[in-house]
Amino acid sequence: MNRVIALEVRSRDRRKPIRLVSSIALYTAVGLFVLLTLAPVLWLLLSSISSTNDLTNIPLRWLPNTWDFSRFTRLLDPNGQGREFVAALKNSLIVAVGATIISLLVAIPAAYSFSRFRGAQSQLLFVVLGTYMMPPVALVLPLYSILASVGLLNNVWGLLLVYCTILSPFTTWLLKTNFDTIPLEIEESAQLDGLSRWGVLYRITVPLALPGLSTAAVWALLLAWDEFFYALIFTSNINTKTIPVAIADFAAGRAVDYGLICAAGALAALPPVLIGFALQRGLMSGLTSGSVKG
C-alpha cells in the first residue's frame, strides 16, 4: 500500500516539468497563431487611421504621427458617405442572413434524406454540387436575363435566391456528414415510439447535430458575405448593393484612399465576427447536448 502511494507521488513529480514544458509549448503555439492572424489585421487598422503621407514614409513609420479616426465616423455618418456604406451593410445582412436561413431550411431535410435513404436519389448530391463548379462568368448572362424577366434584377430577393443556389449544396453535404455520425439506434427507438421521419428529424437528429449546424451556418454566412461578382452585376443602386460592391466602389476612380478601404473592411468584418461568435457559443452548448452519442 505504502509503496503504491510512494510510486504515485514519484510519477506525479516526474510529470510536473513535462506538463510545464507542454503548457509553455501550447501557449507559444497559441501566441504564434494569434500573431499570424492578427498582424495583417493590425496593419489594416493602423492604415485606417494613418494619413497617406504617414503611409508613404521612408523608412516606414510604425505608428502614425496623428491618429485620425475620421474615416470611421465618415463611414458611419448616415448623411454623408456613410449613407451608401450603412445601406450596403443592411443589404448584405438581409441577403447573407436570409440566404443562410433558407439554405439551412432546405439543407436539413435534404441532408437527412441523403444520409438515411439509399437509392437513386442519393447520387443527386454530386449533381447539385457540380453546379457550383461552373465559373460565375458563364452563368451571369443567362441568370441576368432570367432575373430581368421575372423582375428580380436589382432586388435583394433576387440576389438572395442566387446565393441560396450556392450555399445549399455545401450546407447539405456538410450536414449529411454530420448526420452520418449520429447513431441510428436513437432514431429507431423514437420511430418505434410512433414518430414520423420528419418528427425524428426535427425532434431527435437536428438537436443532436447542433454543433454541425452552427458550423454550417457560419460557413454559409461567410460565403454569402464575401460574394462579389454576382452582386456586382445584379445590383445597381443603394437599395441593393452589398458590402463587397460598396467597397469596390470606394476603391474605384483614380484617387484611392487605402485608409478608407481599410476602415470599411474592418467595419464590414464586424457583423460576421459577432454572429460567428454568437453561433460558436451555441456550438458549445450544442456540444454538451451532443455528448449523448458515443
Partner 1 sequence: MTQQTDKKTAWWMLAPLLLIVLGAIGYPLIRTLLLSFTNARLTGYSDPIQFVWLENYWQAITNSAFRESAGRTTYFVLVNIGLELLLGVLVALLLNQAFRGRAIVRALLIIPLALPTVVSAIMWRWIYNPEFGVLNALLTQLGLLGQYRSYLGEPDLAMNMIILADVWKNYPIVALVALSALQLIPKELFEAAAMDGASAWTRFWRITLPSIIPALTVVIVLRTIEAVKVFDIIFVMTKGGPASSTRTLSFEVYQEAFSSLKAGSGAAYSYLVVLISAVLIFLYIWLLRRQERQ
Partner 2 sequence: MKKMYKAFSGAIGMGLVLTGLALGQGNTTLNALFMKQAAYSEEDVQNMTAEFEKANPSIKVNLEFVPYESLRDKTIAAQASGGYDVVLFDTIWPAEYAKNGFLLDVSSRINKADQNKIFTGAWSTVQSKGKYYGMPWILDTKYLFYNTEILEKAGFKNPPRTFQELMTQAEVIKQKNLVQYPLVSSWSQSEALVADYTSYVAAFKGRFVDTSDRPVFQNGGGLKALEWMVDSVKKGLSNPNSREYAEEDVRRVFSSGQAAFALNWTYMYNLTQDPAESKVVGKVGIVPAPGAVGGAAVSAVNGSMGLGITRTSKLANEAWKFINHLTSQKVQNRYAKNSLPIWKTSYADPIVSKGQEAVIKAANISIGAMYSRPTVVRYAEWSNVLQKALQEALLGKTTAKAALADAAKQVATLK
Q: Which of residues 63-122 bind partner 1 (CB under 8 A)?
A: 102, 105-107, 109-110, 112-114, 116-117, 119, 121
Query: What does each C-alpha distance from 211 to 90, 109, 284 come to in angstroms?
Result: 27, 17, 7
* Residues contacting partner 2: total by CB under 8 A: 30
For residue 50, count CB atoms less than 10 angstroms from its CB and return exposed for 0-12, middle for 13-18, buried for 19 or more: buried
Q: Which helix (H) or strand (E) holds 63?
A: none
* Binding residue (CB under 8 A) for partner 2 from 35, 256, 278, 292: 256
**Judged by CB under 8 A, which of 22, 28, 56, 73 binds partner 2?**
56
Q: Considering beta carbons, is residue 91 or 113 the nearer one to partner 1? A: 113
Instruction: Report the distance separating Cα 288 and Cα 89, nearest Å.
Output: 34
| Cβ distance to partner 2 smaller for residue 128 or 232 | 232
Q: Pick between residue 97 and residue 114 the one whose CB is nearest to partner 1.
A: 114
Q: Does 195 bind partner 1 (CB under 8 A)?
A: no
Among 4, 5, 18, 60, binds partner 1 (CB under 8 A): 60
Site for partner 2 in 111-150 (CB under 8 A): 140-141, 144-145, 148-149
Cβ 59 to partner 1 shortest distance, Å? 7
| Calpha distance 157→91 (Å, rounded) | 10
Query: Residue 200 binds what, of partner 1, partner 2, none (CB under 5 to 8 Å, by partner type)?
Result: none
Q: Would you count residue 28 as binding partner 1 (CB under 8 A)?
A: no
Which 163-202 positions form the footprint of partner 2 (CB under 8 A)? none
Determine which residue in the list 26, 251, 284, 292 makes contact with partner 2, applying CB under 8 A: 251
Cα 240 to Cα 109, 185, 206, 237, distances in angstroms: 31, 48, 34, 6
Query: Which residue has cell 456528414?
Result: 177
Separation between Cα atoms, residue 80 and residue 230, nearest integer Å: 27
CA dihedral 146, 150, 154, 160 (to 10 degrees): -80
Q: Contact 72/50 with Cβ under 8 angstroms?
A: no
Closer CB to partner 1, residue 7 or residue 273? 273
75 close to 82: Cβ distance less than 8 angstroms: yes
Q: How far is the CB of 102 from partner 2 (least distance, A)?
A: 20
Footprint (CB under 8 A) of partner 2, residues 57-86:
57-58
